[in-house]
Amino acid sequence: MDKTDRKYTNGEITVFWHPKKCIHATTCYRELIEVFNPRKRPWVNMNGASTEEIIRVVKLCPTQALAFKYNKDIDGDKQAGINSGPKETDAEARIMEDGPLVLKGSFILYDIDGKELKHYKMTSLCRCGASNTLPFCDGTHRKIGYTGK
Amino acid sequence: MQEKETTVHQPAEVRILKDGPIMIKGTFAFKDSSGKITKGEQELYICRCGGSSTKPWCDNTHKKIGLAY
Ligand code: SF4
Ligand code: FES
Ligand code: FES
């Protein structure tokens, strides 16, 4: 994420656009020019179609340059009182039961020596301790019968 | 509806701590194995040695186990 990112809302959902990820594949405006019109400013018109239509097309974006969130979820964050910092991020860390920790989205990953590790759209980090490719998961957790919430 | 523009923050950082847990720090969504999600600024230490009794959290068991990486 960076400061060129934009967001647009119709009160129900918020659409996020990450220009650096946009490869101008044109999918969005061929599907829904009423909403995604690169000749207009702002180029996203959230009143141009129904929420369902917008969500459908956001999901078609091949590069994740487009993303969306329901505003009620965003408000939920506020109510929980955890919006002290900036809120927009696609970073997600997820625990797989009896398996690895899965990272998705914008993280910076550092190895034990402080060196930055390449991380892809999705990275699985070993939790069982037995992987042959530490710090990454290589599936060994299944062989050793690792259990963990 | 008006267009709103915002600036966004630094990406969250994930550090593999030597012979210890995974630290995740910053703004991100965390989903536990039951599917429960917590969002916002947080700092978490995830067990990497397999031996914690408070999984997914580290409880320092790694010192006993002697995790080496
Ligand atoms: S579909 Fe995605 S990648 Fe293609 S032009 Fe639209 S935003 Fe950019
Ligand atoms: S969690 Fe998959 S190999 Fe350790
Ligand atoms: S890494 Fe600390 S208890 Fe497992």
Which residues, 6 or more positions from A139, have their beta carbon under 8 angstroms from its beta carbon? Answer: none
B27 vs B6: which has the higher pLDDT: B27
Q: Do B56 and A101 touch (CB under 8 A)?
A: yes
ipTM, interface predicted TM-score of the complex: 0.88
Q: Note whether A122 contacts B: Cβ–Cβ < 8 A.
A: no
Mean pLDDT of A89-101: 94
How do residues A10-22 score in pLDDT, each as one tens digit? 999 999 999 988 8
With the most atoms of ligand 2 within 8 angstroms of its CB, the residue from A94, A97, A125, A131 to mutate is: A131
DSSP states of A69-102 as a string?
Answer: EEHHHHHHHHHTT--SS------EEEEPTTS-EE
* pLDDT over 70 percentage in chain A: 90
| Cβ atoms of A91 and B27 closer than 8 Å | yes
CA distance B57 to chain A (A): 9
- pTM of the predicted protein model: 0.58
HSE toward the beta carbon, residue B25, CA cutoff 13 A: 9
- Which long-range contacts link B61-64 to residues 24+ away (Cβ below 8 Å)? B62/B19, B62/B20, B62/B21
Q: Note whether A110 contacts B: Cβ–Cβ < 8 A.
A: yes
Cα dihedral B19, A141, A91, B17 in deg (nearest 10) = 0
Task: Give CA separation, B42 vs A59, A66, A98, in Å.
Answer: 28, 25, 23
